Structure 1
Amino acid sequence: MRRRIIVITAVHAPSAHFLPDAYTSLLAQELPEGWEWHWLIQEDGRSDEVAPYVPDDPRVTFTQERPGGPGTARTLALALADGEYVKVLDADDQLTAGTPARDLAALEGDPTIGWATSRALDLLPDGSTAGFLGDPDEGVIEQGALFDHWSANDYRPQVVPGTLFARRHLVLALGGWMALPASVDTGLLLALNAVSRGWFTSDVGLLYRKWPGQSTSRPAHTDPAERDARMAVVEARARALSGLRWSSPPADRAPRAPAPPAD
């Protein structure tokens, strides 16, 4: 029986024409023997403008629901998530070759790691790319470390939330993506880090497209009052989860370090 990585994409009409590029990036992926991907494309709304861009591929499932924002669309897609892992892919972004395989190796290799992220590059309109400063070193990100950095740096995450790969049962346990107009990936990432360790890969895993129609370029996204409200809810959720002192896996089930040899 083959095992699956579920790639979840929320899409609305203005970004639908980028879906073929995202699909091409999925086709370039090589997974370990016995693994496959299943792409869930969830339209945020019901229109006739997205379906023409959805690939005709049995590994792709397209669904539509009434509009509720990207967080709602991604969470609704979980209803069809028939695999052990969830990978985020925005409709206008592209995965680089090898990304899901690297994420998978990190989580399959260590059951105490609940999620993974990777380096990202901005994909500019002229086709060139630009990097980010401040990426952490490759390796384990301890429980709570992302929140500490985020809260001390004007609510700017140390890693790119759009590169998230996570255990499906953890995403479900946390209620999926937050019901916010934006910052939903950040909210889920910080919630995951509140209850589990993560992994960061320094290889580039995502090309983050910059274009005039993207939601982060709209004035509402940077409106101070709305941003403050979003960040307050994201912070409160992460703090509440930390206060529960819940960890995944539970401390009594986490792998123990081998005992030192007897003298």
Structure 2
Amino acid sequence: MVTGVPVRRIDVVTAVHAPSAPFLADAYKSLCAQELPDGWEWHWIIQEDGFGDAVRPHVPDDPRVSFSQGRPGGPGVARTMALARAAGPYVKVLDADDQLTPGALARDLALLEADPALGWATSRVLDLLPDGSTAGFDADPEDGPLAPGVVFDFWKANGYRAQVHPATLFIRRDLLLALGGWMALPASEDTGLLLALNAVAPGYFTREYGLLYRKWEGQATAQGTHTDTAEREARMDVVAARAEALSRLVLKSG
């Protein structure tokens, strides 16, 4: 950091619960490996989804890291509660069991700093498998802007699967707050936010890998309740209805 240059912050928001707490060490290492332009720093906001004694011992002792606990309500509630401690112009999502790739924060920051019209950015993901190997995808979109509505249209046409990953989101904080943070859902709360962002603001997809997405038996998407048909249909219905309502509001205001 250059002396005399005002420091601006990227707030990295992480929801955590006891089973995923041991992975915080790897997430922290990936944050410490990030290099940012002069005058910028990251602040890691960790929010436990509940109260207990299992998570705190895994929180790094670092002035750039803050930790709090709250009533359990799922990762969306925890992340939204974490916004009370966010102070910078940008928010980066980092799940407790995932890791940023080198350069991920600087790339996201450069995109939104260069184009004030962009509200958010995403990047490619590598699955991090239990044996330490990684696996990618072969259906990522091209590198470039994502116009309003394109992510939603793809999601509806492809079995409620978006072509970009919400776990890689980098968002203007004011926009995130205006949308109410993450959806109050038991799952798919991050997809709901992604589609809401795509309804109201252009985004950008980077084909450089920005995240190692850990696959393990304890992750929420690996649980049977995540695929319960009735609940999944209800989640998808409300996610779609919110995105469509936001799109109509944008069209009306335009």
* Corresponding residue for residue 3 of structure 2: none
1:100 and 2:100 aligned: no
CA distance in 2, matches of 1:3, 1:173: 21
Residue among 139, 146, 161 paired with 1:141: 146
What residue number does 2:23 align with? 18
| Alignment match, 1:8 | 13
Task: State the alpha-carbon separation in 1 of the partners of residues 247 and 81 from structure 2.
Answer: 26
- Per the TM alignment, residue 132 of structure 1 is displaced from its structure 2 partner at its CA by 1.5
Matched, 1:209 2:214: yes
Pairing of 1:58-69 with structure 2 (within 5 A): 58-69=63-74
Q: Which residue of 1 aligns with 2:38?
A: 33
Alpha-carbon distance in 1 for matches of 2:39, 2:22? 32
Tell me, in whole angstroms, the C-alpha distance in 2 between the residues paired with 1:134 and 1:76. 34
State the partner residue of 1:72. Answer: 77
Cα RMSD over matched residues?
A: 1.1
Matched residue, 1:172: 177
Could you list the per-position Cα deviations for residues 115-162 of structure 1 after superposition, in whole angstroms to 9, with x for gaps in the alignment? 000000100000000012311100100111100100111100100110
CA distance in 1 between counterparts of 2:131 and 2:159 reads 30
Number of residues of Structure 1 aligned to a counterpart in Structure 2: 249
Q: Secondary structure at the match of 1:245?
A: helix
Per-residue CA deviation, residues 88-132 of structure 1 (Å, 9 max, x unaligned), is 000000000000100011100001110000000100000000012
How many angstroms does 1:246 deviate by? 5.8
Pair 1:234-2:216 in alignment: no
Which among 219, 224, 227 is matched to residue 222 of structure 1? Answer: 227
The answer for unaligned runs of 5 or more in structure 2 is 1-5
Q: Which runs of 4+ in 1 moved over 3 A?
A: none
TM-score normalized with structure 1 length: 0.93
Cα distance in 2 for residues equivalent to 1:112 and 1:132: 29
Contact in 2 for aligned 1:195/1:246 (Cα 8 Å): no
- Letter of the aligned partner of 1:127 in structure 2? G
Counterparts of 2:236 and 2:126 in 1: how far apart (Å)? 24
Query: Once the two structures are superposed, what CA deviation does each residue of 1:180-238 show, in whole Å capped at 9, x if it has no partner?
Result: 01111110010001000000000000000000000000000011111101100100000
Amino acid corresponding to residue 20 of structure 1 in structure 2:
A
Cα distance in 2 for partners of 1:85, 1:233 equals: 27
Aligned to 1:192: 197
CA distance in 2, matches of 1:244, 1:173: 13
1:83 aligns with 2:88: yes
Asked whether the 8 Å contact 1:42–1:63 carries over to 2, the reply is yes
CA distance in 2, matches of 1:246, 1:178: 22
Larger radius of gyration: 1
Partner amino acid, structure 2, of 1:35:
W
For the 8 Å contact 1:142–1:198, the answer to whether it is kept is yes
> Matched residue of 2:234: which SS?
helix
Instruction: State how far apart, in whole Å, the 1-side matches of 2:214 and 2:112 are.
Output: 27
Distance of 1:107 and 1:158 partners within structure 2: 20
